[in-house]
Amino acid sequence: MERVEKLKKIGKKAGIDAFLVSSEKNMRYFAGFSVLAIERFAGIMIPVGTSAPIVLVPKLEEEKAKEYSAFKEIRSYDDSENPAMLLRQVVKVLRMEKAVFGVEGILPFKFYRMLVECSPKIRIEDASVFFSQLRRIKSYEELKRMEKAASIVAEGIKAGIDFIKPGVSELAISFQIEKTIKENGGESVPFCIVLSGRHSALPHGETSNRKVREKDIVLMDVGAVYEGYYADITRTVFVGEATKMQTKIYEIVVKAQETAIKTVKSSVKAEEVDRAARKIIEDAGYGEYFTHRTGHGLGLEVHEEPYIAAGNKTVLKLGMTFTIEPGVYLAGKFGVRVEDDIAVSTPEAKLLSSLSKELLVI
């Protein structure tokens, strides 16, 4: 309920009378459970005043809500009923016919229309920034979940490394990683990208049936969820040998990452961390081959605030979490990326992920 009280305080200052939360991630953040609202409407009405939040769900999700929701007032509708009628009833019960509602920017249009049609005097405001403001500072419990998620991903990547050899396909390595993550308690594996040879030069390439060859580079970018929270780790390894050029670039990328991590402190701007990594790579002559931001926020979503990117003047604060993942990509040849998960802590950044970055030849 502390999170709800903070949201109410923010809403009161912003002139918002109630919030309608409908995304899976924000429902989980505030209520401890989530419903994936696709064609069926689901959400939480959070009045800024004294009234308690009300959970609205399809009938088939009612028992789940009763068991897991932090909020005990739950209302449901079955598939023969129009959820717009239920939403209208709740608006009337809460006397919100003239209210200003704060909603998520990603609210589907059909649900937005349901809300505005509850009353001609309802006004809608995009409250995305308020949800982000709360979620980007992680609690101790959230950090522990993220550490656990990172340890699970690390086990998966280790299993993938052990499985790599000439003749094994990228898909087979990916399967081994995913299998190990699930066996170690991972809820889901939203992505498990394995790229070998010249495929590794594609920052967001697609895992394929390509078989690993002698003298290949293999890049593994893996994300997994534990109790709702993400980890996202990348490692790059070498098969048979690493050439002088590959070794040089690998060492540059690791140095860039470690320099950026050392820059992470409370009161430092996000763009300064990006600049620290980018300068190392630029000074080595490979700046044009570092084609993406240095990192992205991490939590209930794999990409959230703060973004570690040029021009982002967000001031880092204790409890913020994000990736640091510089890379160098030589088109048609190979790519190298090293990624870890970081929390702003004191006196220095805390590594949530723990996996060797020593150059590894298999």
Q: Does 357 map to a domain?
A: no
Q: Which pLDDT tens digits describe the chain residue by residue (362 residues)?
A: 799 999 999 999 999 999 999 999 999 999 998 887 678 999 999 999 988 999 999 999 999 999 999 999 999 999 999 999 999 999 999 999 999 999 999 999 999 999 999 999 999 999 999 999 999 999 999 999 999 999 999 999 999 999 999 999 999 999 999 999 999 999 999 999 999 999 999 998 999 999 999 999 999 999 999 999 999 999 999 999 999 999 999 999 999 999 999 999 999 999 999 999 999 999 999 999 999 999 999 999 999 999 999 999 999 999 999 999 999 999 999 999 999 999 999 989 999 998 999 999 99
- What CATH number has the domain bearing residue 65? 3.40.350.10
Cα angle 271-246-214, degrees, rounded to a multiple of 5: 135
Assess whether 184 and 287 both reside in one domain.
yes
Q: Select from 89, 116, 135 the last residue of a domain.
A: 135
Question: Is 358 inside a domain boundary?
Answer: no
Does one domain contain both 146 and 109?
A: no
Give the C-alpha separation, 195 to 201, whole Å.
8
Q: What is the pLDDT of residue 38?
A: 75
Residue-level pLDDT at 152: 98
Per-residue confidence (pLDDT) for residue 34, from 0 to 100: 86
362 lies in some domain? no
Range of the domain at 9: 2-135
Q: Residues 339, 224: one domain? A: yes
What pLDDT is attached to residue 203? 94
As for how many domains the chain has, the answer is: 2
Nearest to 73 by CA among 92, 46, 55: 55
Q: What beta strand segments (E) does the chain contain?
A: 18-21, 43-47, 54-58, 74-77, 100-103, 123-126, 188-196, 217-226, 229-238, 295-297, 304-308, 321-324, 327-330, 334-337, 340-343, 350-351
Cβ(343)–Cβ(319) under 8 Å? yes
**Residue at a domain's end among 93, 117, 135:** 135
Q: Tell whether 233 and 315 lie within a shared domain.
A: yes
For the record, the structure tokens of 303 come out as 């990409």
Contact yes or no for 56/86 (Cβ under 8 A)? yes
Which CATH number is 202's domain given? 3.90.230.10
In a shared domain, residues 243 and 115:
no
* One domain for residues 228 and 338: yes
Q: Are residues 126 and 145 in the same domain?
A: no
* Alpha carbon 122 to chain centroid, angstroms: 32
Dist CA 141 CA 120 (whole Å): 42
Q: 118 with 150, same domain?
A: no
Whole-prediction pTM: 0.94
Q: What is the pLDDT of residue 37?
A: 67
- Residues 315 and 278 sit within 8 Å (Cβ to Cβ): no
Do 234 and 344 have their domain in common?
yes
* Cis peptide bond prior to 347, omega within 30° of 0: yes
